[in-house]
Amino acid sequence: MPETPEQTWNIKQLLDWTTDFFSKSTIGNARLEAEVLLAEALDCQRIELYTRFDEQPPAEQLTEFRAWVKRRAAGEPVAYLAGHREFYSLRFQVDSNVLIPRPETEHLVVAAVEFTKNLESDPIRIIDVGTGSGCIAVTLATLIENCKIAATDISEPALEIAKSNAALHAVDSKIHFFTGDLLDALPQGSSPVHLIVSNPPYIGQLELSTVDDQVKNHEPDIALFSGDHGTEIIQRLVNDAAQFLLPDGALMFETSPIIMDRCVDFVRNNPAYSDVRVIKDYSGHDRIVVATRSSN
């Protein structure tokens, strides 16, 4: 988008030019990302852009949009530029302190909700380990009426984002936040729960060269990487979760197809669990592990 003061740009021209520019920059979903950034700059819904094609944005908003386009072309994720990302049809505030919510994680929410449908307890007690933006905990709190959720994260800035999202969706009374490492963040003597959910770090440092630069350079390492092979934190989670689960309770966590077999073995080799199954994602890849606590 040339910064020539003598040329005026309407919304359609801005979208067309930016889409072409992003496509040449090898940015996927070029049109969508152009729409998201322009709608954010104009403080409107994306759909409104199509009813305002001939409108010329004010200079201040155009300057902000230009700056975002440059940053996006340099690799900064559009979610961080816009300050939000949609997850399970809900809007979540995000910044560089938290992992950007992804569609694959929605499978974890679906599995958790299905599990709780068979529970008659009031409240249903849930722990979200490594809550990040709070997208899992907040979504569950909006979908499960009679739940109480403990959400943990080692990052205080991440927890502040999660708290804001809980307040945004009016479920902050259902969620208590705790700062600390995995389940160690919870107070001593915490009551056992029906369900533990987590989207933990699961990329190994040995995979670093295969990670997309946009992810590697902008999203928080602490939310991405776990030891050399990606299994270090998951192994701890599987071992520690058993003591926090009620009999027949469940541990559900997202992981990578690359390490799925090892994650399943962690469960099978732990006598505290009686069953394990795997859920595939939208692409048909093994993505979610569901481990059932033994009733003994």
pLDDT at residue 9 greater than cutoff 80: yes
Quote the pLDDT of residue 4: 53
Rounded Cα distance, 49 and 45, in Å: 7
Pairing outcome for strands 175-179 and 147-153 = parallel
pLDDT band at 7, cuts 50/70/90? low
Rounded Cα distance, 120 and 203, in Å: 37
pLDDT in tens, 143-175: 999 999 999 999 999 999 999 999 999 999 999
Tokens 């809980």 belong to residue: 166
